Structure 1
């Protein structure tokens, strides 16, 4: 065969720490070149006869796993060469073209490389929320998987089960795990759609994402009235907390991030009309008297481009997302204090207002289709899942109505 591959140490390119890159050297029709595997070791840690890393290497928790990673890279490259030969393409390729083909395929199978590219794409399109979610997931995976790279083939059913055990062993919840798993699944699906990985490797046909029922997050109308009637001076640290919660409830359960980015020009002719950041769906609803009283405090003496609520402080968009993240944490802490002041036993979070709005709408006999539109859901199924459980006190009232009279 006129084409061959060899794992070796590139002794021409020493790094600052004295190590040398482990490379795959390509020989093709009497010409040669190479590309890096991403691994570097000291000369004393490389076995030149066996073409593997010696057990003396201390830069990893498992030398065997690292050698398997190198061998897998070579096997993958060999498979590509064999396929090119079968398709009668190999003999017409220059060594540069062959190297490009091998490195392109090698990178496309890297979960880390592909995810980094998605994060960069999100930032370029100013989808910083997605970028943060993917970055967080990548950090958690790298904390679990100690090798320098992770291929999609390695991210299989067994890997997901081991990651699950790792997550739960840290006293984390199944619902927190589900967030990570859905992100992994989304990345895998994107890789399949762009034909970077074959569908046969997809692990989520076997692995099922698990969740546990969460505590009911909707407030009763009685508790919502407590917040509405709770009087606060505007110098009190809970003044904005109370207003944000009520405004969210009165604006169809508007999310905290959408409230943060809501600008004055979205309020006109007695209506609020804006595009939700998460789904890009347009909301358009009338301003009630109660909502108008809250908004009056925030909209006066502002330009159309100004934000309604004093949540975002900086000009650069990426920094504005960080402002929202920080403000949300403070908001959630203050909601706990507000609940104590109002003698509300339920745990308040930034999402409770949305659930409370949906539940109260249902209890006031508003049709499910209308609630779905108010919440901005794309289907009734989503709304049904959203409202799958009602508070116990409401269920008790329904049961009392069923007594034989």
Structure 2
């Protein structure tokens, strides 16, 4: 039987799952499913992966309201699968096959809330007990230096030793230490977030279900507070990093608080300052030239 791109993708997904890489397996599946939908639901052949087809696929994704970061994710997953097939001798090497499609990071995509909107989102009055719980979790993520939602799952007061919260990031294993006060310790005890064994497929699926519910809750909370900006679990991490920069916290400190092993990763989170802020800074810096 001839091995198709679709069949090879499933083989890659099965191997990833067997090694516990459920997140990457999920992304492989989403990318292949999306490209198959673009082709009209057909089985994907290796011959379907051409520079011309990929460019048309990119335009299709943008036309169907996908963000550039989603475009990049799908393209990078397809590229990874194709490269594995080349290594396995199942596909021919094509120079610059993915060269003309977007595989970078959309730095113009706004992920952070400014301080007034953030304050309203985290402290605004809501009546629904469910939305109050969503707001509580969002507060914890922000107050714990933009802690990722996945790391919140394994958090309890026993993680606090001598006033310092110590944890290892699930994604990278990087150790993070955050000084906490009694108020934040109380917040941690109020969370009661269920913990899942993410090394199993069942645990991963349960976690993904909880994450989807949390993101849906964030949308409902934003609507209840008349906030029109898109909010997701990533918002509080990006907001913490951006606001820390605006308060002139050194990038190295921000990077350590986020648990990044490379400062370049931190810089992706930071959109920088707007023209007004740059203008104020420039006036201060140039003040030394004024005649006294």
TM-score, normalised on structure 1? 0.59
> 1:279 offset after TM fit, Å?
2.9
Matches within 5 A, 1:88-99: none
Matches within 5 A, 1:50-199: 107=3, 110-145=4-39, 147-151=42-46, 154-192=48-86, 197=91, 199=93
Query: Number of residue pairs matched?
Result: 283
> 1:197 offset after TM fit, Å?
4.7
Contact 1:232 1:238 in 2 (8 A): yes
Q: Structure 2: give runs of 5+ residues left out of the alignment.
A: none
In structure 2, relative to structure 1, the CA distance for the partners of 1:282 and 1:212 (3 Å cut) is closer
Equivalent residue, structure 2, for 1:267: 159
> 1:289 offset after TM fit, Å?
3.9
Contact 1:156 1:201 in 2 (8 A): no
Equivalent residue, structure 2, for 1:292: 185
> 1:180 offset after TM fit, Å?
0.9
For 1:225 and 1:389, locate their aligned partners in 2 and report how far apart those are by CA, in whole Å.
20
Contact 2:114 2:239 in 1 (8 A): yes
> 1:309 offset after TM fit, Å?
0.9
Equivalent residue, structure 2, for 1:383: 266
For 1:172 and 1:228, locate their aligned partners in 2 and report how far apart those are by CA, in whole Å.
28
For 2:28 and 2:107, locate their aligned partners in 1 and report how far apart those are by CA, in whole Å.
25
For 2:113 and 2:65, locate their aligned partners in 1 and report how far apart those are by CA, in whole Å.
28
> 1:154 offset after TM fit, Å?
4.2
Cα RMSD of the aligned pairs, angstroms, is 3.4
> 1:267 offset after TM fit, Å?
1.1
Contact 1:178 1:211 in 2 (8 A): yes
For 1:225 and 1:253, locate their aligned partners in 2 and report how far apart those are by CA, in whole Å.
15
Equivalent residue, structure 1, for 2:242: 359
Query: Highest relative contact order (Cα 8 Å, sep 6+), 1 or 2?
Result: 2
For 1:398 and 1:205, locate their aligned partners in 2 and report how far apart those are by CA, in whole Å.
35
For 1:284 and 1:336, locate their aligned partners in 2 and report how far apart those are by CA, in whole Å.
30
TM-score, normalised on structure 2? 0.79
Q: Structure 1: give runs of 5+ residues left out of the alignment.
A: 1-35, 38-106, 299-307
SS at match of 1:203: coil
Larger radius of gyration: 1
Equivalent residue, structure 1, for 2:150: 257
Q: Deviations over 1:335-367 (max 9, x none)?
A: 234335556554322111001110122122221
Equivalent residue, structure 2, for 1:221: 115
For 1:324 and 1:219, locate their aligned partners in 2 and report how far apart those are by CA, in whole Å.
25
In structure 2, relative to structure 1, the CA distance for the partners of 1:112 and 1:266 (3 Å cut) is farther
Contact 2:107 2:268 in 1 (8 A): no
